[in-house]
Copies of this chain bind each other. A is one copy, B any other.
Amino acid sequence: MKLWQKNYTLHALIEEFTVGEDYLLDQILVPFDCKASIAHAHMLHSIGILTKKECKQLQETLEEIIQLHTKGKFTVKKEDEDCHTAIEKYLVEQLGDLGKKIHTGRSRNDQVLTALRLYYKQELTTIQLQLKKIHESFSKISEKYGSIKWPGFTHMRKAMPSSVAMWAEAFQESFLDTQALLSTTYKLVDQSPLGTGAGFGVPLPVDREMTAKELGFGSIQKNPLYVQNSRGKIEGTLLFGLSQIMYDVNKIASDLILFSMPTFGFITLPDELCTGSSIMPQKKNPDVLELLRANYHVVLSYQFQVQSLMTNLISGYNRDVQLTKKPMMQGLQLVKQSLEVLVLVLNSLQVNKNACEKALTNEVYATEKAYELVQQGMSFRNAYHKIAEDMY
């Protein structure tokens, strides 16, 4: 039985189609939804809807669900439609009519958003920590190999002398910029939607500040309609932040794939990070790097999906928005896994000093030679042309 069930039966195919994968995806949201419901119960008590005892009973049963979930014993079933129904159903089973009171003063629309944002906040915090680890990995590379010189490239052609340190620090600075973006993203996510109902408030004097505070939100979203309109907008911002992370991962992987080609040999990945071929006995392939590179495109497509889904729709809840749940969850998972793998790659790679230095052939120093002429008083453009002539 669904929260909205009426005196007719939903067609089985429509039920399957509209539920979709929600019941599976929602498994991860169970504890977040329970916590939000506990805060909501406290608030309902504070405004006189629930007695102290009722509030306590609800809290205990919701905590029980969290415990069951931790042990893998609370499963959202297809017929439950989503975790919110599964949880309300359990409350009614355990507590009878009291269970039917938990939905007072809220709609599934604000309830879903509350659980999702608590979940996003947790994931984003994890990712921000992972970015710090990557920073450390690059620091270690700089310590160990930083002073090794190698050629810098422009247009995939040797350009000027560079170094491993310059390379490592480039990504450190880049991730710092991404972290600034993620901090702002976090602030947008960190707004409580609870208590705004289906997008038009609820006819009860709910205390939104109270629930926001208990749940650790930094602020509340004020306008109930904006709460609904922002679903998809905030998700898009979060996915854009993830894309920006993967932008750098893509570049790191592209660099490492090229520079670990035996023809270059600047970098070596240890065997245990390489895979083989089913037909070619000699192969040690950098699949791990190729997949890190490729994952940028996957996250980008999730971002695009969310940015595309919400277009040309009027204000207020439209069911389309529910399809943002899957790309969000998959995007977060993929980025967390990619960063974990990247740390391993960065901590394992070897830089081969000889190969790097051997690649510093003459032409890499052409600019420096031009500047020697500049130091002797020649104008830069004339010095440039003089060196260019000498080289051809």
Whether a CB of chain B sits under 8 angstroms from the CB of A215 is no
Known: A18-B288, A162-B225, A272-B10. A278 touches B3 (CB 8 A): yes
Whether a CB of chain B sits under 8 angstroms from the CB of A123 is no
Known: A198-B154, A243-B307, A341-B17. A170 touches B318 (CB 8 A): no
- Chain B residues, CB < 8 A from A382: 97, 100
| A residues contacting the other copy or chain, number (CB 8 A) | 168
Distance (Å) between the CB of A99 and the closest chain B CB?
A: 8
Whether a CB of chain B sits under 8 angstroms from the CB of A317 is yes
The answer to whether A204 and B371 have CB atoms under 8 Å apart is yes
The answer to whether B222 and A5 have CB atoms under 8 Å apart is no
Closest 6 A-B residue pairs measured CB to CB?
A4-B276, A301-B305, A100-B381, A290-B319, A100-B379, A107-B279
Cross-chain contact of A318 among B154, B222, B276, B300 (Cβ < 8 A): B154
A171, A281, A317 interface centre (most CB from chain B within 10 Å): A281
Distance (Å) between the CB of A260 and the closest chain B CB?
A: 9
Residue of B with least CB distance to A261: B156
> What 0/1 pattern do residues 192 to 204 of A give for CB contact below 8 A with B?
0000011111111
Query: Could you pull out 24 A-B pairs where Cβ atoms are within 8 angstroms?
Result: A7-B392, A11-B272, A84-B278, A101-B379, A103-B279, A109-B278, A152-B200, A152-B225, A154-B316, A154-B317, A156-B314, A158-B262, A160-B198, A160-B201, A160-B280, A236-B244, A247-B307, A254-B314, A290-B319, A297-B311, A298-B323, A300-B305, A300-B311, A312-B313
The answer to whether A233 and B174 have CB atoms under 8 Å apart is yes
Cross-chain contact of A278 among B4, B255, B281, B302 (Cβ < 8 A): B4
Whether a CB of chain B sits under 8 angstroms from the CB of A340 is yes
Whether a CB of chain B sits under 8 angstroms from the CB of A187 is yes
The answer to whether B315 and A371 have CB atoms under 8 Å apart is no
The answer to whether B14 and A254 have CB atoms under 8 Å apart is no
Cross-chain contact of A203 among B311, B318, B368 (Cβ < 8 A): B368
The answer to whether A199 and B154 have CB atoms under 8 Å apart is yes
Whether a CB of chain B sits under 8 angstroms from the CB of A320 is yes
Whether a CB of chain B sits under 8 angstroms from the CB of A115 is no
A88 to B382, CA, bound (A): 13
Whether a CB of chain B sits under 8 angstroms from the CB of A257 is yes
Whether a CB of chain B sits under 8 angstroms from the CB of A37 is no
State the number of copies, please.
4
- Of the listed stretches A69-77, A126-134, A383-391, chain B binds A383-391
A358 to B25, CA, bound (A): 42
- Of the listed stretches A28-36, A59-67, A177-185, chain B binds A177-185
- Chain B residues, CB < 8 A from A10: 272-275
- Chain B residues, CB < 8 A from A174: 226, 229-230, 233
Residue of B with least CB distance to A17: B341
Distance (Å) between the CB of A202 and the closest chain B CB?
A: 7
- Chain B residues, CB < 8 A from A155: 283, 285-287, 290, 317-319
- Chain B residues, CB < 8 A from A152: 198-200, 225, 316
Distance (Å) between the CB of A294 and the closest chain B CB?
A: 4
Residue of B with least CB distance to A269: B14
Residue of B with least CB distance to A84: B278
Whether a CB of chain B sits under 8 angstroms from the CB of A217 is no
Distance (Å) between the CB of A333 and the closest chain B CB?
A: 11
> What 0/1 pattern do residues 261 to 274 of A give for CB contact below 8 A with B?
11110000001111
Whether a CB of chain B sits under 8 angstroms from the CB of A143 is no
